[in-house]
Amino acid sequence: MSNIALFSEWLNLLLRWAHIIIGIGWIGASFYFVWLDIAFKPRDKMNPGVYGTVWMVHGGGFYHVEKYTVAPAQLPPDLHWFKWEAYLTWVTGFGLLVLQYYINAKSYLIDPSVLAIEPWQAIVASLSSLLFGWLIYDGLCRSPIGKNPVLLAAILFAIILAATAMYSQIFSGRGALIHVGALIGTWMAANVFMVIIPRQDKAAKSLMRGEEADPSHGIIAKQRSMHNNYLTLPVLLMMVASHYPGLVSHQWKWIIVGLIVISGAMVRHFINLHDAGRHFKGIAWTLGVAAAAFVSAAVVSGVRPERSGDLSAVNDAEVMTIVNRNCVMCHSAAPSHEAFDEPPAGIKLEDVDELRRYAEQVRAQAVIGQTMPLGNETAMTLEERDKLGIWLDQQ
């Protein structure tokens, strides 16, 4: 492996590690505050201006937290703001997008059988979709539609489906799914950066000056915070979904994404209602809807187009012609492809025995999914994929 490849692999690993850790911090804090917010109870002895308190035990300590109806008479200067979790999750995520998908655009972002574009065009498409996606989302929330939460949610849902369909026409399957995640993740982080924190900051400043805070700050911050709450679980699934070849290559990704959004939002709804003290029996339907959406996504992903071309048996020589043309320049002991000094993922496909050994992975990557050949560099045809599939079935 060249030094540059080694460096970029470790930088990728470092960013991914940081992204996951910081993301867990963000999600953990937000789950905790949703729970906390509902847990306050008025008690006999409370400080002036306090609406309720919560008692907790954790890690060997006892904690007593107060919530003010509006705010305390005096705010201390060392008020803790939860914001870096959100900002850094986005920064590390964007870094990963650059490292994995922009720098290796030909391998991961572009699939010439979807749209033959140059890396710079794909990168411009990616950046502008994230920017305009935010402007559209933010504009809708600020518009009169934003006053109607149900209508707004329905429109945002339709936008997510349309974005998935659009990305599927521009990028590789993997590139498309990661962009749905990146788009929603950008909404969430920008909600914190552009709306929630600035509004809270304004409110805190007026309170510190001893003035009353404008109630609209709270209402607007709450709306965005609610969106983040319901988008958290779907976005997590979108981020890992690009590792599943069957999902990545599916022709109806927008339907699968829609079902995933419903499923994740319903699980979150269940947790919200459960935190609010609702009895399991009354809220179990939310889990039913989540499960139905999840199972439907699995069923839809199993629906594949009919095999094309000649469906007769495929012999060993024929399959090796296909594999030699599409795989062996990378997957051999000494790859002829300039980017590789050793077989990627340790997988060699130089004869039928090796092809049999990796049968299930090959099926997943090159027949059901279309993640291989990497970046579809050889422009592998559907007929070749079908023949490879038929040969694998015969084994």
Q: Interface residues with ligand HEC (CB under 6 A)? A: 326-327, 329-331, 337, 344-345, 347, 349, 358, 361-362, 365-366, 372-374, 377-378, 380
Block residue for tokens 């329905």: 154
Q: How far is the CB of 173 from ligand HEC (least distance, A)?
A: 12
Q: How far is the CB of 362 from ligand HEC (least distance, A)?
A: 4
Q: How far is the CB of 174 from ligand HEC (least distance, A)?
A: 8
Tell me the C-alpha to C-alpha distance, in Å, between residue 331 and each of 326, 336, 351, 383: 9, 9, 11, 21
Assigned token pair, 35:
């729970």
Q: How far is the CB of 395 from ligand HEC (least distance, A)?
A: 14
**Choice between 245 and 264, CB closer to ligand HEC:** 245
Q: How far is the CB of 377 from ligand HEC (least distance, A)?
A: 5
Q: How far is the CB of 90 from ligand HEC (least distance, A)?
A: 24
Nearest CA-CA partner of 86 in 216, 194, 12: 194
**Choice between 271 and 359, CB closer to ligand HEC:** 359
**Choice between 229 and 371, CB closer to ligand HEC:** 371
**Choice between 173 and 258, CB closer to ligand HEC:** 173
Quote the CA–CA distance of 286 and 227 in Å, as a whole number. 18
Length of the chain: 395
CA 105 to chain centre: 19
Q: Which long-range contacts (CB under 8 A, 24 or more apart) does 319-325 make?
A: 319/352, 319/355, 319/387, 319/388, 319/391, 320/351, 320/352, 320/355, 322/380, 322/384, 322/387, 322/388, 323/349, 323/355, 323/388, 325/378, 325/380, 325/384
**Choice between 88 and 380, CB closer to ligand HEC:** 380
Amino acid (one-letter) located at 201: D
Nearest CA-CA partner of 371 in 113, 94, 167: 113
**Choice between 238 and 330, CB closer to ligand HEC:** 330
Assigned token pair, 230:
């319901």
**Choice between 249 and 326, CB closer to ligand HEC:** 326
Q: How far is the CB of 367 from ligand HEC (least distance, A)?
A: 8
